[in-house]
Structure 1
Amino acid sequence: MHPFSRSQEAKEMFQAQSHLYNHTFNFISSMSLKCAVQLRIPDVIYDHKRPMTLIDLASKLRIHPSKATCLYRLMRVLVHSGIFAETVVPRDGKQEEEIKAYVLTPSSCLLLNDKATGLSPFVATMLDPALVSPWHFLGDWLGGNNHEDCRDKLNNPFEAVHGVNIWDYGRKNPEFGNTFNTAMAGDCQLMNLVIKDYKEIFEGLNSLVDVGGGTGTMARIISEVCPGLKCTLLDLPHVVAGLPESESENVKFVGGDMFESIPSADAILLKVCTLGIALL
């Protein structure tokens, strides 16, 4: 074999290896993001009002000194992922000496808990063990050919792992269910920016039903932008139970199952969420 051919083959093999390693370790970025949300690092840096050094961050988070190196590595991953950015500030007020400090990026600004568009609950929900664990059994579920095994009769890996669908799981685990609904509401808030700019898509409609609309964030946004449009929110009874009626008379809540019946309306809104990807 010509030497050039061997070097080209080696190059392709190393590129393939790097590609596989990249996908293998992608979970580190997701889990680091989850950790940042759990520790509320975006809020801590935001409340600091200025770039925050690692020492200050560790102090505010009450990280034990023995774990400071781990926090440093975590922040390196998050900076590399674009969740935070680095800058330099004077060390102890000495202009001639500088030290690295962390600042927010547009991505971490979306994780602030006091913002209506905060996506921290969304991150926490999508990376919750309840939604992550089914992925570990995807191969078993797909390859299971023993129809006597109840797992093979279930519709997706989530049901194979938990024995119930996502909706029943949320009802049996209220903490997860509440976080899930909050996550969907935060995700919908971003649609406020889209609907205001493209409200003409609702022209000519007198009524609309938001199927699986959760706690009504999307329906309320549409109602505010299009005051003459009657909006009905359809979701499972335990989701809509106890929800406060909208100040607008144009929004009403209906408990039911979209697989059984959907209220009559001029149009149906079915917002596609990444949850479908998470559950396959």
Structure 2
Amino acid sequence: MTLRLLAEVSPQDLLVALSELQNHLLGYVKSMALKCAVDLRIPDAIHRRGGVATLADIVADTEIHPAKVPDLKRMMELLSTSGIFTATAAKDSGGIGDVVYGLTTACYFLVGRCNLSPVVPYLVSPHIVSSFFGMSDWFRKEPAVAGGSLFEVAHGCSLQEMASKDAAFSSLLNDSMASDSQLFLEVIILDKGRIFRGLNSLVDVGGGHGAATLVIARAFPRIKCTVLDLPHVVSQATTSEDGNLHFIAGDMFESIPPANAVLLKNVLHDWSDEDCVKILQRCKQAIPARTKGGKVIIIEMVRGSAQGDRKISEMEDIQNVFMLHINGVERGINEWKRIFSDAGFSDDYKIMPVLGPYSVIEIYP
């Protein structure tokens, strides 16, 4: 921007533009502050007190050193202005603050029996964040020269390879996937549970340790549930006590165990269109004809649901760029439609939004 152009812009517009730039430049500070709050279990501390707490309450209920109260106040102010906590004047703050903090709707995703708090340390872990440090160099190189995904360029191996040899990172990954799966399956069963009715068997492909499948098995005990995943993943999994959840080590590109339905939750966005077609072809081989109840249930983002909402559009775009770290991609309806067709499925599919762009898709042979 030239000085002449700056002179032609109103002071208020300049301030807004500068604030926008600063928010982009220092956006990572919000992520790290949120991770810190989750690590210190601040949302849980507020939740245990009925949803409101002063700084004195938070210090009393966590491992925060009393001498760090002024710094804690700064962090809580940031997380309040950015939408994680609420902040209102307190009648009695015990002498070390004048604000009482509460939980916003966004923060309620981080507390309670079923929550997304394990996703936070995974998404801001050094392995994930450092994948984006070399992004500009990655863009300059031809795909064959770039060495693969952003993660592979940064670490010399794929994300799954890293998980197979780094126990701490594997734990972060599995805990993150489990919490996400459990929450979304609880919501889906509550709102769209009919998609599982009438099934006798289901295979969850890439289902990790079975968090999503276990929710289904408990809600529908008559469904024989199986998880298919890589050997190093299922070797750490445990069969359910009632015997209604089993694990099979395998490769979804090779074969998928037969079942009435195949579940793919956040699997296809990890892969190219060509690989998605191959995976879905294996799914089609595993299920019976539609007249006998055969179907594939896909839980994925379907981009384009924003309808003018900037925050949702930004979230979709951030998620789409984030998927570059494993050469993945988030897709819109036309992209999904083309993949389904190329894999040989009927064009009579169903897309059922659950939370904005996060949807349940049913496709049939």
Alignment TM class, shorter chain as reference:
0.7 to 0.9
Q: How far 1:129 sits from its partner (Å)?
A: 0.9
Structure 2: which amino acid aligns with 1:176?
F
| Partner of residue 181, structure 2 | 188
| Partner of residue 235, structure 1 | 229
Q: How far 1:220 sits from its partner (Å)?
A: 1.6
Query: Does the 8 Å CA contact 1:42/1:104 hold for their aligned counterparts?
Result: yes
Instruction: Check if 1:172 corresponds to 2:172.
Output: no
Equivalent runs, 1:26-37 vs 2, <5 Å: 26-37=27-38
| Partner of residue 61, structure 1 | 63
Unaligned runs of 5+ in 1: 1-5
| Partner of residue 155, structure 2 | 162
CA distance in 2, matches of 1:120, 1:92: 28
Structure 1: which amino acid aligns with 2:231?
P
CA distance in 2, matches of 1:168, 1:260: 19
| Partner of residue 87, structure 2 | 86
Structure 1: which amino acid aligns with 2:103?
L
Structure 2: which amino acid aligns with 1:212?
G
Q: How far 1:195 sits from its partner (Å)?
A: 1.7
| Partner of residue 3, structure 1 | none
Provide TM-score, normalisation by structure 1: 0.81
Q: How far 1:103 sits from its partner (Å)?
A: 2.1
CA distance in 2, matches of 1:210, 1:276: 22
Query: Does the 8 Å CA contact 2:56/2:93 hold for their aligned counterparts?
Result: no
CA distance in 1, matches of 2:220, 2:63: 44
| Partner of residue 135, structure 2 | 138
Aligned length: 267
* Deviation sequence 1:39-74 (CA, Å, 0-9, x none): 111122234457332244345433252x43322111
Q: How far 1:160 sits from its partner (Å)?
A: 0.9
Q: How far 1:278 sits from its partner (Å)?
A: 5.1
Unaligned runs of 5+ in 2: 1-6, 267-299, 301-318, 328-365
Structure 2: which amino acid aligns with 1:100?
V
Q: How far 1:158 sits from its partner (Å)?
A: 0.3
Q: How far 1:254 sits from its partner (Å)?
A: 0.7
Structure 1: which amino acid aligns with 2:70?
T
Where 2:110 maps in the other structure, the secondary structure is coil
Comparing both chains, which one has the higher relative contact order based on Cα–Cα distances under 8 Å and sequence gaps of 6 or more? 1
Identity %: 38
Alpha carbons of 1:76 and 1:230: their partners in 2 closer, same or farther (altered >3 Å)?
same
CA distance in 2, matches of 1:55, 1:200: 47
Alpha carbons of 1:53 and 1:259: their partners in 2 closer, same or farther (altered >3 Å)?
same
Instruction: Check if 1:244 corresponds to 2:246.
Output: no
- 2:120 aligned residue (120, 123, 138): 123
Structure 1: which amino acid aligns with 2:214?
R
